[in-house]
Amino acid sequence: MLIGYSSHYDAALTFAARAHAGQTRKGSDIPYVAHVVHVSVILLRHGFGEELAIAGLLHDVVEDCGVGLAEIEAAFGPRVAALVDAVSERKAEGGVALPWEQRKAEKLANLRAGGPEVAALKAADAIHNARAISADQRAFGPGVWQRFKRGPEPSLGYYRAILEGVRYWLGEHPIAQELAGAVEELGETAGV
């Protein structure tokens, strides 16, 4: 577990902040880097180690910032790069955007094949996303779903499938229980 200051963690936080500079959360003015910090903190709060917390900070830089896995591996090691790769979404193939359903199916397959650390990383990501959507929905109403490619029912189905994959690897670990609560809350606020 990360305790106190770590130059390695600090380097990852700086890397993530630079990679996500200028990006905001969907439909808001919240800097995107806030999401990856939350993911990392959720992992630390549940007792996971520094490498997984660093992967939490970096989990979207390949998918959303065009950073190569080789760059992550060179700076943070092969284990962090493998964790980031396992949760990164392939958005296009041959310059053609992939359908939402295919992208999510691939992410779920990676989760099922990934092992406990991948499950924890995906759980932390889904916890923050689900809780943020629920909070936005309470604050701004159902129009929040206009920000996303799919409405509440397919999105909630995806979050429930993530929970199933996380439970496969982690059982009733506290992070899986927290995810279950976040998914239930999302269903309640969405009315699904």
The SS3 call for residue 97 is strand
Give percent above pLDDT 90 in the chain. 79
Per the rule left: phi > 0, alpha: psi between -120 and 50, beta: everything else, 26 is beta
Q: What fold, for 1-88?
A: Hypothetical protein af1432 (1.10.3210)
Q: What phi and psi values does residue 89 have, to the nearest 5 degrees?
A: -95, 135
Report whether pLDDT(142) > 90: no
| 2 — pLDDT class (breaks 50, 70, 90) | low
Length of the chain: 192
**pLDDT for residue 186:** 95
Residue range 119-144: average pLDDT?
Answer: 93
